[in-house]
Structure 1
Amino acid sequence: MQKRVDFWVKIYSHYTTSQGVFHLVDDPSKILGEIDLTSIHQNKVLNDTQKRKLIDAEIKKKRQLYITRHKIKNPRQVRLQMGLKDRMRKAFYLSGKYLPQMEEIFEKENLPIELTRLVFVESSFNVYAQSKVGASGLWQIMPFVARPKGYITNHYDKRNHPVYATKLAAQILKQNHRSLKSWPLAVTAYNHGLTGVKRMMQRSEAVSIEGLIRSQNPTRTWGFASKNFYACFLAVLEVERRATDLFGDNLLKAHALSFREYKLPEATNKDVVLKWFGGSMTRFRQMNPHLNWAVIRNRQSVPAGVPLMIPEQNFYLVAN
């Protein structure tokens, strides 16, 4: 496990999103070689289509070079992992907005506050993050998990609300741990699903994350991401501990969000609501990423029952 963690520490803290490494799928610590696409990304003469073409060609060339050099018999065993250093630096900044309240929620649930750092892995603290399979928000919660909780309506999606999403994530992690009796497995189940981890345990007859990773009889959905999710989490914890050494003294963090929630008792004119945000539609949207803006944008009023995040310093305006 430590070799996997060391690999991800490098990905999070050494290589940027324009740099990467070719490695063996089953053993990420076996790095075959590097690739640096910085010069292509920074070329201001090229358009996006031209850049994409050059990038694809360079990746193909480097992949074949390392396959030949290391005498790899099965090319499918070679994988490219791009770095995340610049994204991690931005995530550290954004985390300042959300971590204080997240830690408070997890403490109330008697959960280790370290678990809040899963958000670095899930979304890099991008509240607007969307996955190809439909997961959304800071905690990348799937629709089928959120919908039964009443989180998704025509007017809002609480998966994109930092507080509601954190409360649901805490419930999921607590349930996982209650069922699996192991934090490494519970964390893995957050990514792979509780049922998926149980199925994998039954098939492999393993009772630990290390056993699941070593299994030669995986389920169809047990892939690279599932095997490495817990290692990524441990790597993030290490990178956070060593942040000053890895990123320098000038690593900035945003101020914690200061807000109060207000659930509209009735449909309220949008001009009235905007006053609570200093008249700024931009501020209104930034404070409320969970709202369905495609719907609300075309309405004169904000519907009743919608939970709003109001800047703390402006909350007195609500009563007026």
Structure 2
Amino acid sequence: MRKGFILVFALVCLPGTILALRLPANETTTIEEEIPNWSAPFFGDQSGALGYGEDAFSRPKGLEDRVEFWKEIYTKHSSYQGVLHDSRYVHLVYGVVDFSDLKDLEKESRKKFLREKDRRIDQAKNVIREKLKSFQNPTSPEPLSPQDEKLKSLFDSVDEDNKYIEASKDGRLRFQLGQSDVFAEGIRQSGQYIRQMEAIFREEGMPVELTRMVFVESSFNLKAQSRVGASGIWQFMPRTGRRYLRIDGSVDERNHPLFATRAAARYLRQNYKMLEDWPLAVTGYNHGAYGILRLSKKLQSKDIADFVDFRKGSFGFASASFYASFIAALEVEKEAAKYYGPLKVEFPVLGETYRLKRNLSARKILEFFEGDLERAKKLNPHIRRAVWQNRIRVYRRNRIRLDIKAIERMEEWKDHNLYLEKISSYFQHERRKAIA
């Protein structure tokens, strides 16, 4: 980041995993394996991927400061601190608000913790706001303190009328929570699905780097839900989700990482076909492709830097920051060991996908998993709570996932072909239909 932090506001082992292996003698055994180490991503040859080029996901000119800002958020500041900064010129960082001393209070009362956290942020904002206003209209004959002089000098390169007053306004003076601990945890959780997600994007003919958008959307939180209704690691809204996924009373496929990943690949393909540019197509994932298309016509530009400088209506800080935060996430993940030290990742959640020919109860599904509810839920996070509570069945034509042991149990059920159909061919059919 070009400018350093100048103020600090202090206002006031995972257990081993058991894997089931199929042996040549058609027997099943369990062995205990060490939790795997994280390894840097290798995306390989993608010459056939849609819109792919050597510089497809390099830093765009004009976004360098924004990328550096988000890299610091992802690597330097934990979720118990954050930075006060200017929302237009994000490299202008005023200081750090720290509330790591409130961890015990959070354990006692989440509500009290949030109230005190917000109080500190507001207090820090007020300090900066008053200082900025005083720079615009100085009333004291006394010289500025070294600290205030440093704060004022942040704006030396800003050419804007009433620049200090403008910077003091609510829309400009902004707090960003740190995410270093959350990002590191996201990398750990990604071990469950990331290689399968990469394979899905390759099958769909899409750049594999795009799978890392998940770090921006949800930090790989498998239970992520937003206040506005977005759900799952890809944060699909219900309306968009229904275009690509099954959402009914028994399942919400937005919450299955693999099903949602294929949907995201197809959604991004449509964005690219409309916008013909990956920075815009990725931004369209957050803002909406049609909104980006309209803005492109208005600005008469396809340069993402021009979009970032434009702020109006619904195209605010989140939309303007989305592509830069994605590039930052790509860069951070490639060098995760540098930022977080040695990392362990979760074991892959492996299984096969079946389509239901008839409604199926939780009791029957659990028979495949030998009554292991947690194992069944881990393979099928898209199945709704009402199913596991035996209030409804999983509806026909929905999909479920079975691991090796569950498949063996299922195959012992003589009538299983009447209820379940393996759907690798179904996926191929769906892909042909989506591309057509």
Pick the TM interval, shorter chain.
Answer: over 0.9
The amino acid of 1:221's aligned partner reads S
Once the two structures are superposed, residues 273-303 of structure 1 have per-residue CA deviations (whole angstroms, 9 ceiling, x without a partner) of: 2132231212222221111213552337544
Q: In 2, are the aligned partners of 1:129 and 1:140 still within 8 Å (CA)?
A: yes
- Cα offset, 1:45, TM superposition: 8.0
Structure 1's unaligned 5+ residue stretches are none
Cα deviations by residue, 1:59-117 (Å, 9 ceiling, x for unpaired): 12111122233444233110000100111111001111111111001111221111000
Matches within 5 A, 1:134-145: 134-145=229-240
Kindly indicate whether the alpha-carbon contact (under 8 Å) linking 1:200 and 1:219 is maintained by their aligned counterparts in 2. no
The 8 Å contact of residues 203 and 219 in structure 1, kept in 2 or not, is answered as no
TM-score of the superposition, structure 1-length normalised? Answer: 0.93
Change in Cα spacing, 1:317 to 1:237, as seen in structure 2 (3 Å) is same
Which stretch of structure 1 is more off in the superposition, 56-65 or 40-49?
Answer: 40-49
Match of 1:147 in 2: 242
Q: Secondary structure at the match of 1:252?
A: coil
The percentage of counterpart residues that share the same residue type is: 35
- Structure 2 CA distance, aligned partners of 1:16 and 1:198? 36
Given that residues 184 and 230 in structure 1 are in contact (C-alpha distance below 8 angstroms), is that contact kept between their aligned partners in structure 2?
yes
CA contact (8 A) 2:82 2:177 kept: yes
- Aligned counterpart, 1:292: 384
Which amino acid in the other structure matches residue 224 of structure 1?
F
1:4 is aligned, of 30, 48, 66, to: 66
Q: Which amino acid aligns with 1:94?
A: Q
CA distance in 1, matches of 2:106, 2:76: 25
CA gap of 1:302–1:22, structure 2 versus 1, over 3 A, is same
Count of matched residue pairs: 317
- 1:169 deviation in Å? 0.6
* Farther-moved stretch of structure 1 (230-239 vs 218-227): 218-227
- CA distances 1:231-256 after superposition (whole Å, capped 9, x unpaired): 0000001111111110002x111111
The offset of 1:44, in angstroms, is 6.8
1:208-251 CA-to-partner distances (Å, cap 9, x unmatched) read 11011123xx44110000000000000001111111110002x1
**Partners of 2:373 and 2:301 in 1: how far apart?**
53
Q: Summarize deviations over 1:154-201 as a string: whole Å, max 9, x none.
A: 211111122221111111111111221111111101111101101111
SS at match of 1:4: helix
TM-aligned CA distance change 1:78 to 1:114, over 3 Å:
same
* Conservation of the 8 A alpha-carbon contact between 1:276 and 1:311: no
Asked if the contact 2:245–2:254 (Cα under 8 Å) also holds between the matched residues in 1, the reply is: no
Q: Distance in 2 between matches of 1:171 and 1:277?
A: 32
Given that residues 186 and 219 in structure 2 are in contact (C-alpha distance below 8 angstroms), is that contact kept between their aligned partners in structure 1?
Answer: yes
Partner of 1:63: 125
Which residue identity lines up with residue 401 of structure 2 in the other structure? M
Question: Radius of gyration: which is bigger?
Answer: 2
| CA positional deviation for 1:306 | 3.1
The 10-residue stretch of structure 1 (14-23 or 125-134) with the greater mean CA deviation from structure 2: 125-134
- 2:236 alignment partner, SS class: coil
- Which of 294, 313, 317 is the matching residue for 1:224? 317
Q: CA 1:89–1:150 in 2, change beyond 3 Å: closer, same or farther?
A: closer
Q: How does 1:71-86 map to 2 (within 5 A)?
A: 71=133, 72-73=164-165, 74-76=168-170, 77-86=172-181
How far apart, CA to CA, are the structure 2 residues paired with 1:104 and 1:281? 28
**2:251 counterpart letter in structure 1:** Y
Whole-angstrom distance in 1 between the partners of 2:257 and 2:410: 21
Partner amino acid for 2:211? T
Instruction: Give the secondary structure class of the aligned counterpart of 1:28.
Output: coil
Residue 426 of structure 2: aligned partner: none
The two structures have a TM-score, normalised by structure 2, of 0.69
Residue 150 of structure 1 deviates from its aligned partner by 5.2
Relative to structure 1, the CA distance from residue 287 to residue 32 in structure 2 (aligned partners, 3 Å threshold; closer, same or farther) is same
User: Hey, what does 2:100 align to over in structure 1?
Assistant: 38
Q: Which stretch shifts more, 83-92 or 62-71?
A: 62-71
Cα distance in 2 between the residues matched to 1:179 and 1:268:
40
Q: Greater CA deviation, 94-103 or 303-312?
A: 303-312
